[in-house]
Amino acid sequence: MHVYQEGKRLIIAQGNSQVWIDPWGENSLRVRMSGDPRMDENDWALTEPVPETNSTITFETVDTTDPWYKGEEWAKYHYTGTLTTMVNGKITVKVSPEGWLSFYNQKGELLTEEYWRTRDRLNRYCVPLRITGREMKPVLGTDSFELTARFEAFDDEKIFGMGQYQHRHLDKKGATLELAHRNSQASVPFYVSTRGYGFLWNNPAIGTATFGTNKTEWVAKRTRKLDYFITAGDTPAEIEAQYSAATGRTPMMPEYGLGYWQCKLRYRTQDEVLAVAREHKRRGLPMDVIVIDFFHWTMQGDFKFEPRDWPDPEAMVKELKDMGIETVVSVWPTIDERSENYGYMNEMGYLMATDRCTERSTWMGPTVYYDATHPGAQKFVWERCKANYYDKGIRCFWLDEAEPECSYDFDNYRYWAGPAMQVTNTYPVGYAKGFYEGLKAAGEKDILSLVRCAWAGSQKYAVLTWSGDIHSSFRAMREQLQAGLSMGMAGIPWWTSDIGGFLGGVIDDPAFRELLIRWFQWSCFCPVFRMHGERSPWHEREQEFINNVRQLTSGQDNEVWSFGEEAYEILTKYLFIRERIRPYVRSLMQQAHETGAPVMRPLYYDFPQDATALNVEDCYMFGPDMLVAPIMEAGADTRKVYLPAGCRWTDAYTKQVYEGGQFVTVPAPIGVIPVMIREGKDYPIYE
């Protein structure tokens, strides 16, 4: 092994393998390891230019009297070797004489270190295990490696972030997470540790992350290199700012994104859309966005309106615009073999390829996904959408199926960027990038795309991620709370869910109406306030065809007046609450744009020194001033809430003032979600 300096880079060389350690912005490092003589050049999520820093590298000969070795059992053995240290602001990496990496903060406190259980020169560890901190095993017959990276586990550590997974736990310590996208699952492999660092697994390969009690282990099943980013900070806010500086910050949220979004599965005609919008305005209700869901087209992959049901999109968009309503149109990445675009896209290599058998979906037609990693495919799809949507006045797109939702046989298909096993997690990034760059080139400045999936770096392409086709239940609602908080901590600040859940809600069922009310209240205090759901039972309708292409029917009504008078009175109240707090929401979006701060975040983010707040997973901060406690149980009319120490809190509903640092039980009748206002602030929530 040979350790040497090349410019500001520290290199550990051994045979054909090299480890590169680079300063990567303020208080941050990037660590890469090749399995080949040449390092793979992909930067993946680390695309942004970072500032030059005054990092330093030192080499020193140490022996057992060095302070770094004091107290060790083996110190009685005399030994000398070279200890290499790189310091970049608040983060330090030490390379032991054996090449093992340990990371420290500016106080000399250990943040994390690699997990090695093999022999070093002093026999510090049990020799027979032979477990290394970094391992790249060649996959025979390919140019890929199976990668495993191991780090020590710490009992005092909590893990926040990692994207969107469908389980209850906000703290990911103890979890094994699949590094793969699925419908309702978005793998965004960045986390913030309570030990004072943030960590990005900068690798889009299929794999797993395990935050065990004995070790932390990252696995990429097929890859060309190890690549991670680690950053140190005194607060979670500082860590998020440094991470977002390296991967890109979200733009400023367009003004229409701050208000209420109306959506259902699905408005079948132009007349239905206009009727709902007109009725909203007739009732004097606020609405900023109305969404036209899928199968408004004749054929998947045509990227245009079916003229029979949508005879004059331009006139529709203009009337909606005159009412102050933005039109959003769903785009799917599926291309029907009968589509007018299929032949050209297939010839140009713009479609997803397969290795051993044809990857086709048969739902509503024989389709294949377009290759969103291909720059040419990105440009072509945008150009079709520009001609058929943008040029008719539509400025915002719903990019559905962004995982993509294939069979999940990742070893079968491949993209322009490489085999799916190596790169598939970048699919939603390329999908959003194509539309972001197309809109920007067309002169748009306020850009937003509603996307069903995201990966690290997606945020810079103006993605609003929602949590997919979830069930209509209080259990699912509880799971979405941690999903939204985890997405925020993973660097994706624009997030929403389907109010009431997507699957299984029956609109005249009293139990569902209660769920819908509670979910609607909660969504009023989420980054984006959006109604959606299929709403059972589906409309009775014979199968309908246009030009021999089957058409899709629709679920039941999903407007605020669709669920009875009691629900209507409550839901409309929250439409106006959202309008009253709109200036505050706008300020949170500005902070997200400027600093990378999550809009919704765990109590830990704002109160990292409060040990009790650290363990609270059933409420959250909506920006720095509002503590929100959603009602996530049927029949509940009170709520136990922890109020972080360091300030007093006012119940927005009762106006009662409480000292921080205690649990309180507050009233939560069916029309009320508990919201606690931080001392010194006042917002017009309940009037």
Instruction: Express each pLDDT in 25-73 by its tens digit.
Output: 999 999 999 988 899 999 999 999 999 999 999 999 877 555 545 544 4
Query: Active-site residue 469, yes or no?
Result: yes
Residue the block writes with tokens 């389907």: 498
**Residue 687 included in any domain:** no
Assess whether 187 and 63 both reside in one domain.
Answer: yes
- Please check the confidence at residue 541 and state whether its pLDDT lies above 90: no
**Residue 683 included in any domain:** no
Assess whether 620 and 510 both reside in one domain.
Answer: no
Task: Give me the chain's average pLDDT, please.
Answer: 94
**pLDDT at residue 75, as a whole number:** 45
- Please check the confidence at residue 289 and state whether its pLDDT lies above 60: yes
Q: What SS3 class is residue 603? A: helix
Instruction: Express each pLDDT in 316-351 by its tens digit.
Output: 999 999 999 999 999 999 999 999 999 999 999 999
**pLDDT at residue 64, as a whole number:** 52
| Maximum CA extent, the chain | 87
**Residue 482 included in any domain:** yes
Q: How confident is the model at residue 528 (pLDDT cuts 50, 70, 90)?
A: very high
Concatenated DSSP letters for 247-292?
H----PPPGGGGSEEE--TT--SHHHHHHHHHHHHHTT---SEEEE
Q: How confident is the model at residue 286 (pLDDT cuts 50, 70, 90)?
A: very high
Distance CA 119, CA 111 (A): 23
Mean pLDDT on 185-193:
98
Assess whether 159 and 261 both reside in one domain.
Answer: no
**pLDDT at residue 682, as a whole number:** 95
**pLDDT at residue 74, as a whole number:** 40
**Residue 684 included in any domain:** no
**Residue 686 included in any domain:** no
CATH number of the domain where residue 532 is located: 3.20.20.80
Assess whether 483 and 522 both reside in one domain.
Answer: yes
26, 403, 479, 651: which is the annotated catalytic residue?
A: 403
Assess whether 507 and 650 both reside in one domain.
Answer: no
Pick the range with the lowest mean pLDDT from 119-128, 245-254, 532-541, 643-652.
119-128
Assess whether 608 and 490 both reside in one domain.
Answer: no
Which residues are registered as beta bridge partners of 87?
A: 56, 92
**pLDDT at residue 126, as a whole number:** 52
Instruction: Express each pLDDT in 599-648 by its tens digit.
Output: 999 999 999 999 999 999 999 999 999 999 999 999 999 999 999 999 99
Contact in structure between 204 and 425 (CB atoms under 8 Å): yes
217, 400, 479, 625: which is the annotated catalytic residue?
A: 400
Assess whether 326 and 394 both reside in one domain.
Answer: yes
- The domain boundary, picked from 202, 223, 247, lies at 247
CATH number of the domain where residue 607 is located: 2.60.40.1180
Q: How confident is the model at residue 474 (pLDDT cuts 50, 70, 90)?
A: very high
Which bin fits 392, alpha (ψ -120 to 50), beta or left (φ > 0)?
A: alpha
Concatenated DSSP letters for 632-683?
-STT--EEEEEE-TTSEEEETTT--EEESSEEEEEE--TT---EEEETT---
319, 340, 469, 679: which is the annotated catalytic residue?
A: 469
Residue count of the chain, please give it.
Answer: 687
**pLDDT at residue 622, as a whole number:** 98
- The domain boundary, picked from 205, 220, 247, lies at 247
Distance CA 371, CA 120 (A): 47
CATH number of the domain where residue 111 is located: 2.60.40.1760
Assess whether 524 and 608 both reside in one domain.
Answer: no
Cβ contacts of 551 within 8 Å, gap of 6 or more: 295, 543, 544, 545
**pLDDT at residue 81, as a whole number:** 80
* Identity at 333, one-letter amino acid code: P
Distance CA 210, CA 299 (A): 42
Name the DSSP letter for residue 189: E
**pLDDT at residue 118, as a whole number:** 84
**Residue 135 included in any domain:** yes
Concatenated DSSP letters for 118-169?
S--TT--S-GGG-B-SEEEEE-TTSS-EEEEEEEE--TT--EEEEEE-SSS-
Residue the block writes with tokens 């608040």: 90
- Please check the confidence at residue 209 and state whether its pLDDT lies above 80: yes
Distance CA 652, CA 639 (A): 14
Alpha carbon 527 to its chain centroid, in Å, reads 13
- Please check the confidence at residue 78 and state whether its pLDDT lies above 60: no
**Residue 11 included in any domain:** yes
CA distances from 682 to 34, 436, 619, 652, 676 (A): 54, 37, 20, 9, 10
**pLDDT at residue 77, as a whole number:** 46
Tally the domains of the chain. Answer: 3
Assess whether 235 and 305 both reside in one domain.
Answer: no
Assess whether 586 and 652 both reside in one domain.
Answer: no
- Please check the confidence at residue 390 and state whether its pLDDT lies above 70: yes
Assess whether 562 and 611 both reside in one domain.
Answer: no
**pLDDT at residue 575, as a whole number:** 98
Which pTM was predicted? 0.96
Assess whether 223 and 278 both reside in one domain.
Answer: no
**Residue 431 included in any domain:** yes
CA distances from 426 to 187, 411, 415 (A): 10, 16, 10
Instruction: Express each pLDDT in 480-525 by its tens digit.
Output: 999 999 999 999 999 999 999 999 999 999 999 999 999 999 999 9
- The domain boundary, picked from 577, 595, 613, lies at 595
Query: Active-site residue 400, yes or no?
Result: yes
Q: Angle between the 375-388 and 427-441 helix axes, to the nearest 10 degrees?
A: 50
Contact in structure between 328 and 291 (CB atoms under 8 Å): yes
CA distances from 67 to 70, 72, 284 (A): 5, 10, 72
- Please check the confidence at residue 175 and state whether its pLDDT lies above 70: yes
Query: Active-site residue 293, yes or no?
Result: no
| Residue span of the structural domain in which 422 resides | 255-595
